[in-house]
Amino acid sequence: MVDAHNGFVSQYAPFQALGALAVMRMETRRDENTSRVCVQRMSPGSSRRRDWILELKNRLRKSTRLYDAAQYLIGPVLRNDRLEKQFRQIVRQHPEKVFWNFGGGGFRGFSNFKNLDCYLGPNVDLVADLHAIPLVAQSLDGVTCVAVLEHVKSPAQVVRETFRVMKPGAIAHFNVPFMQPYHASPADYQRFTSSGLRHLFREFQVLDLQCMGGPASAMVWLTTEFLAIALSFGSRRLHAAWFLCFTVLLWPFKYLDLILRSYSASEIMSSNFSILVRKPAEQGKAGSPRNRSERS
């Protein structure tokens, strides 16, 4: 196991880009004989390659500010970051503690922030599989995991592993999609309703659950994807071109969520949800401390 405060970066095989739209993908795999996590290079002839959107996202993520600016300006989702800001405030108020970002790439933000991801990159402290986190039980002061659970095969197992490595009383923040099109990064397996989230985190104490992107954001993204598919005539290049075109044209409509996501019915077709939970200090203390509707 790995000490949560020190961590490690595993050995990995170097790789070269195959082009702007097709590159080799790296995967993590656990070595059965050790607790180390290795990175595997895919062969040049492999058909499992990142799509153009994933490659563009990975390029933008090299500059965190540029990536965030692109999301806020022309991205289809108007983000409600209240719970994420609450979590960051907790991180800021406790510089003596160490918090982990699961699957968030190289965003550091704070000196007491560590990153776990499935790909090696700048500011990534640990390369690992979230289904089997190589960290000591009850060793983490807090966890944030944004837009990751839809990309893992077993969210329940990832949540169990997160529960295991968190200290009693530790806080976790998750952001998950609901009404969003398929977006592989590198795969996309599921979506989550508000009631499904409460069930998934039933071992935790649910502090708050809010619509992060409301109905307008959901409609903008779905409409953009629908129009791009309808006008692509089966061509992936046309689909990509139309997707970018309608993204630029339709993004202003997402600001309707400034009003819509405050409605209680917005959870019916919210783009995504944000949840803030705490690991109970004692066994048998799980569940929601209050009956609150899932709205911002």
pLDDT of 146-193, one tens digit each? 999 999 999 999 999 999 999 999 999 999 999 999 988 778 999 999
- 295 part of a folded domain: no
Mean pLDDT score across all residues of the chain: 78
- 296 part of a folded domain: no
Residue 31 has a pLDDT of 34
- 291 part of a folded domain: no
Confidence band for 294, pLDDT divided at 50, 70 and 90? very low
- 290 part of a folded domain: no
Whether 17 shows a pLDDT value over 50: the answer reads no
Bond before 122 cis per omega within 30 degrees: no
Confidence band for 118, pLDDT divided at 50, 70 and 90? confident
- What is the C-alpha to C-alpha distance for residues 43 and 50, in angstroms, rounded to an integer? 13
Structural domain that includes position 181: 26-278
- 93 part of a folded domain: yes
Confidence band for 65, pLDDT divided at 50, 70 and 90? low
Q: Residue 97's domain is classified under what CATH number?
A: 3.40.50.150
- 183 part of a folded domain: yes
- 214 part of a folded domain: yes
Phi then psi for 170, rounded to 5 degrees? -70, 155
Confidence band for 285, pLDDT divided at 50, 70 and 90? low
Whether 61 shows a pLDDT value over 70: the answer reads no
Mean pLDDT for 286-294 is 47
- 285 part of a folded domain: no
Mean pLDDT for 105-113 is 78
Whether 95 shows a pLDDT value over 60: the answer reads yes
User: How many domains does the chain contain in total?
Assistant: 1
Mean pLDDT for 124-135 is 94
- What is the C-alpha to C-alpha distance for residues 124 and 118, in angstroms, rounded to an integer? 9
Share of the chain above pLDDT 90, in %: 59
- What is the C-alpha to C-alpha distance for residues 2 and 87, in angstroms, rounded to an integer? 24
